């Protein structure tokens, strides 16, 4: 979702179900006994499904690293993938076969974005950045629509290969195999991320799967597969670069005013600078200001959130910290600091390092500190195409600052600094600190070149423990604090920005045109309006799962991968249940669904934060996945009786796109309202299904 506060994983599970649940035809594979050909058909469906999901995740990572806009508009890849998968399934029974186009399209697109990358010199732009955007490369109005269309085309070719194999099986058996393949795809991508592999491995796995699945051994196909591997290999061997699970990290050495330094960029955005403490004192003395505002003689135990390559840790050590706890979310940035920081801060025995999310660490650790420092924890990227969350979203909420206060020793001090760039944002953060700590913070502001200001805020409990040169006073109306339910720090007012409204309208129009072209007249889909409502509601349930687990366990790539793997596994369980237990009363299923959504709504995520890890995980899993399970049992039950699966899938696809647009309501109301919207859509689905069944009873035809 293109918001300022927002890894992106796929959201197509239920929608694929619609296509997967097609009636048996003359090509159905008998499950017993199983011939070698039948076994091959099964594993080909699993492999093609895994490839489809794996490529989707790779495209999100690769394009986000090459085109800076996609660090904040990753939904263009996500929604393009979603639409492409729908088109591929809608054309499953139509010629020509699209799968042979997958390799050439993928090769051309990756080559294009690699040859014409988009980077920026400094932060700027609505919501995400503050200041003037200075990009190098093709403009956003050209690149974003191009990426959306190209990704949709690539995913349509891959999905067509899945759909053709899908049609060979009985509906729920095919869906079971497809979900199994999706699980393989997401686990495979999580594994390559965990192992720290380069894009060469990603390209190699994609090429191998394409060849195994039987691409024609034509010169064009072989050349395309070879080009895919070559492009990803080139990305793997960029000079002075590292691929982390979050970013493409690149660096270069330079000399400024006689000081040797290293500039670090992530996804083509300037991010960190590495230099000696003495050099930083000469060139950027404001990093030392927090220690001048602290009254205590000894720093004692210091906690640094956003430790990065180690500069803030090095300064704390120099100023006399007895012990430093360094928390950094990106292992590769930490490793870079270990190897290249001139002060070698991470080699000091007084430093203890944790690679995790800052809010999750604060929430789970019971240790208290004399000084807690938020050291420029600005992620510069979204954690997911859903949920509008950035990696640091839950660090700057009122509840997060309350947790910080609880982790301070008596007389302890909290400090934070960054290029906050706009005065209203400084006032919002300072106002939140005043609300939580009971006193206005010290505020030191420094103008830096074209960026508006570097601001340092320091506050103690009830104003104790600090000596301010200047105390904060608002320059104008103070924006309300961000909260765990509405964690959009960079959104000034509770509204959906104009540029997002325009984007959503264009996406909806493109989806209507594409579905009409691939699926035929919309009148054919009128009998499946209930499936459209189900598609929209399920997407919102997925979004809430991402949000809930990000808050409870951290906005890390690993937690995000676990959430989507959990969703797929829950869908698989629902399919297995429906295959074995036929629930004859849809009303019972929807009643259970409303109860499970109601329980999730009545128990806010914040209520689980204080629980021990095991209890918190058990409660979060039950609240998050119970609605997913029941919803998919209901979906499978309804779809089993459809007579026109192409029209049904088109309706479900349009509903999912509707859900994607309704997700933006969270920018106005907060995330919990999405559960109310999901329940409303399921209520409309129930009523529509009931009317369709009554019509079928009167006419003798089932939609």
Domain containing residue 609: CATH number:
1.20.1250
pLDDT value at position 121? 44
Same domain as 509, residue 430:
no
Contact yes or no for 302/284 (Cβ under 8 A): no
In a domain, 454, yes or no: yes
Count of Cβ atoms closer than 10 Å to residue 503 Cβ:
21
Same domain as 160, residue 17:
yes
Q: What is the pLDDT of residues 509-548, one digit of tens each?
A: 888 888 888 777 777 677 888 988 998 999 899 889 988 9
Torsion angle in degrees (nearest 10) through CA of 599, 600, 606, 612: 80
- Judge whether residue 154 has pLDDT over 90: yes
In a domain, 477, yes or no: no
- Mean pLDDT (whole number) for 469-497: 91
Beta bridge partners, 262, equal: 253, 274
Contact yes or no for 574/691 (Cβ under 8 A): no
The fraction of the chain above a pLDDT of 90, given in percent, is 46
Rounded CA separation 137/271 (Å): 19
Rounded CA separation 136/116 (Å): 9
- Judge whether residue 415 has pLDDT over 50: yes
Out of 82-91, 238-247, 464-473, pick the least confident.
82-91
- Mean pLDDT (whole number) for 151-172: 88
- Judge whether residue 32 has pLDDT over 80: no
Mean pLDDT taken over the chain: 83
pLDDT value at position 663? 86
pLDDT value at position 555? 84
Beta bridge partners, 304, equal: 326, 373
Name the 3-class secondary structure at 446. strand
Q: What is the pLDDT of residues 660-673, one digit of tens each?
A: 788 888 889 999 99
pLDDT value at position 302? 96
Same domain as 280, residue 352:
yes
pLDDT value at position 130? 31
Give the model's confidence band at 697: pLDDT under 50 very low, under 70 low, under 90 confident, else very high. Answer: low
Domains in the chain, number? 2
Same domain as 447, residue 496:
no
pLDDT value at position 219? 83
Contact yes or no for 135/68 (Cβ under 8 A): yes
Name the 3-class secondary structure at 288. helix
Report which secondary-structure segment, H or E, holds 265. strand 259-266
- Mean pLDDT (whole number) for 230-251: 90
Residue 652, domain extent = 13-239+491-699
Same domain as 368, residue 457:
yes
State the helix-helix crossing angle for 557-580 and 529-553, rounded to 10 degrees.
140
Q: Which residue has the higher pLDDT, 106 or 94?
A: 106
pLDDT value at position 164? 87
- Mean pLDDT (whole number) for 466-489: 92
Q: What is the pLDDT of residues 192-238, one digit of tens each?
A: 988 888 899 999 999 999 999 876 667 888 899 999 999 999 989 88
In a domain, 262, yes or no: no
Same domain as 510, residue 433:
no
Same domain as 695, residue 651:
yes
The sign one gets for the Cα dihedral 138, 142, 148, 153 is negative
Q: Which residue has the higher pLDDT, 39 or 304?
A: 304
Out of 431-435, 609-613, 670-674, pick the least confident.
609-613
Same domain as 572, residue 458:
no
Q: Which residue has the higher pLDDT, 367 or 266?
A: 367
Rounded CA separation 434/549 (Å): 29
Contact yes or no for 568/691 (Cβ under 8 A): no
Rounded CA separation 75/73 (Å): 5
In a domain, 628, yes or no: yes
Contact yes or no for 21/636 (Cβ under 8 A): yes
Out of 8-12, 318-322, 465-469, pick the least confident.
8-12
In a domain, 317, yes or no: yes
pLDDT value at position 30? 44
pLDDT value at position 504? 78
Query: Which letter does DSSP use for residue 293 in this model?
Result: S
- Judge whether residue 442 has pLDDT over 90: yes
Q: How many Cα atoms are found within 13 Å in the side-chain-facing hemisphere of 63?
A: 33
| Chain mean position to CA 517 | 30
Rounded CA separation 577/403 (Å): 42
Give the model's confidence band at 131: pLDDT under 50 very low, under 70 low, under 90 confident, else very high. Answer: very low
pLDDT value at position 381? 57
Domain containing residue 403: CATH number:
3.40.50.150
pLDDT value at position 640? 75
Q: What is the pLDDT of residues 548-604, one digit of tens each?
A: 998 999 888 888 888 989 999 999 999 889 888 877 788 899 999 999 999 999 998
Contact yes or no for 473/480 (Cβ under 8 A): no
Q: Which pTM was predicted? A: 0.85
Give the model's confidence band at 44: pLDDT under 50 very low, under 70 low, under 90 confident, else very high. Answer: very high
Q: Which residue has the higher pLDDT, 287 or 648?
A: 287
∠ Cα 65 71 76 (to 5°): 100
Contact yes or no for 351/324 (Cβ under 8 A): yes
- Judge whether residue 384 has pLDDT over 80: no
Same domain as 169, residue 101:
yes
Q: What is the pLDDT of residues 286-335, one digit of tens each?
A: 899 999 999 887 889 999 999 999 999 999 999 999 999 999 999 999 99
Contact yes or no for 342/360 (Cβ under 8 A): no
Work out whether strand 248-256 and strand 259-266 pair parallel, antiparallel, or are unpaired: antiparallel
Same domain as 140, residue 210:
yes
- Judge whether residue 64 has pLDDT over 50: yes
Rounded CA separation 603/608 (Å): 8
Exposure class string for 259-276: b at 16+ Cβ within 10 A, else e = eebbbbbbbbbebbbbbb
Beta bridge partners, 558, equal: none
Provide the residue count of the chain: 703
- Judge whether residue 124 has pLDDT over 50: no
The alpha-helical segments, DSSP class H, found in 554-640 are 557-580, 586-602, 613-639
pLDDT value at position 645? 67
- Expressed in percent and rounded to 5, the helix, strand and coil fractions of the chain are 60, 15, 30
In a domain, 392, yes or no: no
In a domain, 472, yes or no: no
Q: Which of 677, 655, 682 is nearest to 590 (CA)?
A: 682
Same domain as 291, residue 187:
no
pLDDT value at position 681? 96
Q: 51 burial class (0-12, 13-18, 19+ CB within 10 angstroms)?
A: buried
Contact yes or no for 82/657 (Cβ under 8 A): yes
pLDDT value at position 2? 38
The fraction of the chain above a pLDDT of 70, given in percent, is 85
Give the model's confidence band at 703: pLDDT under 50 very low, under 70 low, under 90 confident, else very high. Answer: low
pLDDT value at position 25? 40
Q: How many Cα atoms are found within 13 Å in the side-chain-facing hemisphere of 244?
A: 22
pLDDT value at position 54? 96
Same domain as 204, residue 288:
no
DSSP codes, 58-124: HHHHHHHHHBGGGGT-THHHHHHHHHHHHHHHHTTTSSSP-GGGHHHHHHHHHHHHHHS-BEESS--
Work out whether strand 241-243 and strand 301-305 pair parallel, antiparallel, or are unpaired: unpaired
Rounded CA separation 17/628 (Å): 14
Rounded CA separation 85/151 (Å): 10
Q: Which of 701, 702, 649 is nearest to 166 (CA)?
A: 649
Query: Which letter does DSSP use for residue 442 in this model?
Result: E
pLDDT value at position 174? 83
In a domain, 474, yes or no: no
């Amino acid at each position: 979702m293109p918001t300022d506060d927002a890894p992106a994983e796929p959201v197509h599970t239920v929608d694929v179900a619609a296509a997967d649940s097609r009636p048996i035809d003359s090509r159905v594979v008998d499950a017993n006994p199983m011939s070698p050909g039948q076994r091959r058909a099964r594993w080909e469906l699993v492999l093609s499904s895994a490839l489809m999901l794996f490529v989707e995740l790779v495209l999100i990572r690769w394009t986000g690293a090459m085109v800076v806009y996609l660090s904040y508009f990753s939904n263009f890849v996500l929604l393009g993938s979603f639409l492409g998968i729908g088109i591929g399934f809608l054309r499953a029974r139509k010629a020509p076969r699209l799968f042979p186009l997958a390799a050439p399209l993928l090769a051309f697109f990756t080559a294009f974005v690699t040859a014409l990358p988009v980077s920026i010199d400094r932060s700027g732009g609505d919501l995400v950045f503050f200041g003037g955007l200075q990009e190098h490369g093709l403009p956003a109005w050209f690149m974003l629509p191009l990426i959306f269309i190209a990704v949709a085309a690539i995913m349509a070719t891959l999905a067509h290969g899945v759909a053709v194999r899908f049609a060979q099986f009985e509906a729920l058996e095919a869906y079971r195999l497809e979900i199994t393949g999706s699980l393989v795809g997401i686990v495979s991508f999580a594994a390559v991320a965990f192992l720290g592999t380069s894009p060469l491995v990603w390209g190699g796995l994609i090429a191998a799967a394409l060849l195994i699945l039987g691409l024609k051994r034509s010169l064009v196909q072989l050349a395309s597969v070879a080009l895919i591997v070559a492009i990803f290999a080139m990305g793997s061997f960029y000079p002075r670069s590292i691929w982390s699970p979050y970013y493409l990290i690149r660096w270069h050495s330079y000399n400024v005013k006689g000081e040797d330094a290293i500039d670090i960029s992530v996804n083509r955005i300037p991010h960190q600078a590495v230099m000696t403490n003495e050099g930083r004192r000469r060139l950027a003395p404001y990093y030392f200001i927090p220690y001048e505002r602290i009254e205590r003689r000894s720093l004692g135990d210091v906690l640094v959130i956003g430790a990065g390559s180690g500069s803030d840790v090095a300064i704390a050590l120099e100023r006399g910290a007895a012990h430093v706890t360094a928390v950094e979310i990106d292992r590769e940035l930490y490793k870079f600091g270990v190897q290249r920081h001139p002060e070698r801060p991470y080699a000091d025995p007084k430093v203890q390092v944790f690679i995790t999310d800052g809010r999750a660490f604060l929430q789970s650790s019971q240790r208290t500190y004399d000084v807690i420092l938020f050291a420029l924890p600005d992620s510069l990227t979204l954690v997911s195409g859903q949920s509008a969350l950035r990696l640091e979203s839950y660090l700057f909420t009122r509840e997060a600052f309350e947790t910080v206060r609880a982790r301070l020793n008596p007389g302890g001090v909290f400090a934070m600094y960054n290029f906050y760039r706009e005065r209203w944002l400084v006032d919002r953060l300072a106002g939140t600190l005043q609300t939580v700590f009971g006193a206005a913070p010290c505020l030191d502001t420094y103008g830096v070149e074209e960026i508006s200001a570097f601001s340092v805020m320091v506050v103690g409990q009830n104003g104790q423990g600090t000596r301010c040169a200047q105390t904060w006073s608002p320059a104008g109306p103070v924006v309300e604090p961000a909260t765990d339910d509405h964690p959009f720090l960079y959104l000034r007012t509770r509204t959906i920005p104009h540029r997002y409204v325009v984007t959503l309208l264009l996406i909806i129009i493109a989806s209507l045109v594409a579905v009409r072209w691939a699926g035929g007249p919309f009148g054919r889909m009128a009998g499946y309006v209930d499936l459209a409502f189900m598609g929209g509601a399920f997407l919102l349930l997925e979004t809430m799962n991402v949000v809930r687990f990000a808050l409870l366990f951290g906005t890390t790539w690993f937690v995000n991968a676990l959430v989507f793997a959990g969703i797929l596994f829950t869908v698989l369980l629902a399919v297995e249940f429906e295959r074995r237990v036929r629930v004859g009363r849809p009303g019972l299923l929807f009643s259970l669904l409303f109860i499970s959504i109601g329980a999730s709504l009545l128990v806010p995520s914040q209520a689980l934060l204080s629980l021990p890890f095991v209890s918190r995980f058990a409660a979060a899993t039950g609240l998050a996945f119970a609605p997913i399970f029941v919803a998919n049992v209901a979906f499978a039950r309804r779809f089993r009786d459809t007579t026109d699966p192409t029209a049904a899938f088109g309706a479900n696809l349009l509903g999912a796109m509707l859900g994607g647009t309704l997700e933006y309501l969270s920018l106005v109301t907060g995330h919990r309202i999405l559960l109310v919207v999901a329940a409303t859509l399921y209520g409309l689905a129930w009523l529509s299904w009931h009317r369709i069944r009554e019509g079928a009873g009167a006419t003798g035809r089932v939609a």
